Amino acid sequence: MLIRFFDIVISFFALIVLSPVLLVLWMLILCIDGSPALFDQKRSGKDFKAFSIYKFRTMLQNSEDEKGVTAGSDDFRITALGKKLRKYKLDELPQFFNVLSGTMSVVGSRPQVPYYAEKFESFYKQILILKPGILSPSAIEYSNEEDILSATSDPVAYYESVLIPVKCAMDIEMVRKFGLKLYFNTIISFLVRNIFGQTSPKK
């Protein structure tokens, strides 16, 4: 109950404070890349229940597939504006609406597409006992995931054979230790890394 309380408070105030940014980004996408500015996609939520995740659109329309994996930051489907949004994670800001609605938490494993949640069910049945989230230790550690994928010859194979198992192991550990302490430590870790730049992502 306390986690849900903090999810509501944080997401509510984040949306209020960020509303000018959200409006500007919405208009930029409409003006540069056209409608729609918002992108939604089915993801696996708590107990594998599907929900729609919200993001600002960063790719060409109707270019996503069921795997949801890009070929890295140089994927031809990503628009010029989309590259900027993805670099600074600005495309993720609409997910505070997901948190406010209760389908996501501020802290939790990054929402996975059903294809991979089912393919790696042995991992995700241990992870999806909690809501997915905007922030997690694995997402912070691998915040440069697209750069990693860009440096591989086969991004999909690398994602499936290396990144998913490593990140899932971290997410399983997060679920095991989940509580208010981890919740706020994860938020603080994100702020320290991205605002104060005291650490660099794993490569």
- 59-110 pLDDT, tens per residue? 888 767 666 666 666 778 899 999 999 988 999 999 999 999 999 999 999 9
**% of the chain at pLDDT higher than 90:** 76
Virtual torsion, Cα 85, 81, 116, 149, nearest 10 deg: -90
**pTM given for the model:** 0.89
pLDDT of residue 199: 47
Residues 115 and 68 sit within 8 Å (Cβ to Cβ) = yes
For position 65, what pLDDT does the model report? 66
Sign of CA dihedral 189, 84, 144, 77: positive
Round the average pLDDT of the chain to a whole number and report it: 91
Task: Give the tens place of pLDDT for each residue, 131-162.
Answer: 999 999 999 999 989 889 888 989 999 999 99
Give the single-character DSSP code of 109: P
With beta carbons less than 8 A apart as the criterion, state whether 178 and 131 touch.
no
The residue type of 172 is I
Give 41's strand partners: 53
List of residues 6+ apart from 64 with CB closer than 8 A: 41
Q: Given this model, what pLDDT does residue 75 score?
A: 77
Residue pLDDT, tens place only, 156-166: 999 999 999 99
Distance CA 177, CA 111 (A): 19
* pLDDT tier at 54, thresholds 50, 70, 90: very high
**H helix intervals, the chain:** 2-33, 80-87, 95-101, 114-119, 121-127, 137-141, 145-150, 155-158, 164-177, 180-191
